[in-house]
Amino acid sequence: MWQPDRRADIPIYRQIASHMEGRIRGGEFPQGSLLPSERKLADMLRVNRTTVVQAYEELRSMGLVERAVGSGTKVVPAGSGGAISPNWRKYLEAGTFLPNVPAMRRIRSELRTEGAVIDFASGELHPELFPNETIRTLLKEKTFDGHLGYEDPQGFAPLRDSLSRFLRRYLNIEASESSLLLTSGSQQSLFLITQCLLSPGDAVAVEVPSYGRSLSLFESAGLKVIPLRADDQEGVDPDDVAELHRRHRLKMIFTNPNFQNPTGTVLSAERKQRLLDIAAERGIPIVEDDPFSLTAFDGTVPPPLRSMDAGGQVLYVGSLSKIAASGLRIGWLAAPHSIVSKLADARQQMDFGLSAIPQWVAAELLDSPGFGRHLAELRRKLAFKLDSLRAALDYHLPGEVGYRVPEGGLNLWAKWNERPANADRLFEQAIREGVVYVPGSVYGSGPDFFRLCFARPADDRIEEGVAKLAAAYRTASRF
């Protein structure tokens, strides 16, 4: 009998709904008849009952069935007085947003069940690394006296003031509160930049491999993505920018110079200056995505490009996601006021701005004396997790994996010394073993590369995760 295809991009519940829809319209289930019970169909198709519930809900919302309390799910009279439910398929295929890459969707669906696989894929901190106590205490002890009405389109002014001081103190970046836009994170900053400052067809340089390369947002904005090679030892070569500009007339450069994601490299001071000069000579703005500078394990923070930028060319994108907590959804863009103003106006059209309470929490957090201590503790814990990962790799995969040791950030960029015969099969086998990572192809790299986020698993799961990866490697290597 028919079984859903677990490898296909189409979610299982939707395959089941389509399948049942076909059988209903084909007459197999006449009007008024009952569909198989949820439990029964789940058993037959070897899926979770909740998946069948979702499929039946889909059929109900399409107007094909209704729930009869105590009886089950019943097929409603066809046409119901001539009514046609909207053909949602057409609407689902419309619009300008391209779906996220299949590998990432696969990873996300595996991670939906808490604790099911050991997670080296999500590029974020383990919850024990968040300043949980500080935030809880803050919520309890300080009285939220902020304004719960619509806010300044640029974001909560006291947070922009705190942030301005924070950027100066910790990163040597001068940005007045009027040149700051508070966003819901780096993602929103990048989305606003690509949607509002660029037009379809514009050529933009994007590092490869990079996290940026994995995002659909450049394509969703209709931009022409020009790959800018990011060497896994030294990062981008600014002279490449000059060459690419000659060939493509770049409108913007997207870079992540400090603890680049995924390679972990830090662009040298000389290269940073050369990049600024080359871009300045040609009038090309640079978007600097900087989630990780403050995670420098030894506390020596590499200067952001923006801190070296005298000419106002760098649009600086930062956030609290990797140095505090991603669930706060607090990020920022430092840019000329006119840019900030335009993007704030567009953002108002999208979502009317950020929530008041998290902005208040973030302002308190950045101003608190404990934040410096939190950063020091975070660096220490990240370094420990990296050491655990390396020890586990040495033990379980001796000589199989090569990597450059990062000095900050959350990720290890690794390479199989012997290219796997089939990277997809290895990825699937790892999931079967109970561990997930991100294949290099997601970032625009080759099948011998992969990213392990050492920040995400709990300390006591890192070795177990590597052991499972090793088991998958040995299994997959046999074919």
Site for its own copies, residues 342 to 381, rule: CB under 8 A:
342, 345-346, 348-358, 361
Shortest gap between Cβ of 381 and its own copies (angstroms)?
15
Q: CA 94, CA 86: separation in Å to the nearest integer?
A: 14
Candidates 71, 338, 460, 479; binder of its own copies (CB under 8 A) is: 338
| Beta strands, E only, 209-312 | 224-231, 235-236, 250-255, 286-289
Our finding on whether 172 is near its own copies (CB under 8 A) is no
Looking at the Cβ atoms of 188 and 441, the one nearer to its own copies is 188
Indicate the residue among 138 and 471 with the shorter CB distance to its own copies: 138
Distance between CA atoms of residues 405 and 384, nearest Å? 13
Contacts of residue 123, Cβ cutoff 8 Å, sequence gap at least 6: 211, 261, 410, 411, 438, 451, 453, 456
> Per residue, what are the HEC states of 179-213?
HEEEECCHHHHHHHHHHHCCCCCCEEEEEECCHHH
Work out how close the CB of 404 gets to its own copies at its nearest, in angstroms, rounded to a whole number.
Answer: 27
State the minimum distance, in angstroms, from the CB of residue 210 to its own copies: 16
* Per-residue interface string for the shown chain with its own copies, residues 51-90, x marking contact by CB under 8 A: --xx--xx-xxxx--x-------------xxxxxxxxx--
CA–CA dist 326, 341 (Å, integer)? 25
Binding mask 139-158 for its own copies (x = CB under 8 A): xx--xx-xxxxxx-x-----
d(CA 477, CA 472): 8
Report how far residue 52's alpha carbon sits from residue 50's, in angstroms, rounded to the nearest whole number.
5
Cβ 385 to its own copies shortest distance, Å: 16
Cis amide bond preceding 262, omega within 30: yes
Whether the Cβ atoms of residue 256 and residue 207 lie closer than 8 Å to each other: yes
Give CA–CA dist 262/439, Å, rounded. Answer: 11
Q: Based on CB atoms, which residue is closest to its own copies, 31 or 176? A: 176
- Is the separation of the CB atoms in 171 and 308 below 8 Å? no
Report residue 389: phi and psi, to 5°. Answer: -65, -45
Q: Which of residues 397-456 bind its own copies (CB under 8 A)?
A: none
Nearest approach in angstroms of CB 305 to its own copies is 14
Q: Supply the minimum distance, in Å, between the C-beta of residue 256 and its own copies.
A: 17
Q: Under rule CB under 8 A, how many of the chain's residues touch its own copies?
A: 108
Q: Which of 15, 188, 307, 429 binds its own copies (CB under 8 A)?
A: 188
> Binding to its own copies (CB under 8 A): which residues in 98-137?
99-100, 108, 122, 124-125, 127, 130, 132, 135-136
Question: Measuring CA to CA, how many Å separate 77 from each of 37, 65, 70, 238?
Answer: 19, 9, 19, 67
Residues 6-35 that bind its own copies (CB under 8 A): 11, 13-14, 17
Q: Which is nearer to its own copies, 230 or 339 (CB)?
A: 339
- Least spacing, CB of residue 294 vs its own copies, in Å: 18
What part of residues 278-337 is at the interface with its own copies (CB under 8 A)? Answer: 280-285, 310-313, 325-330, 335-337
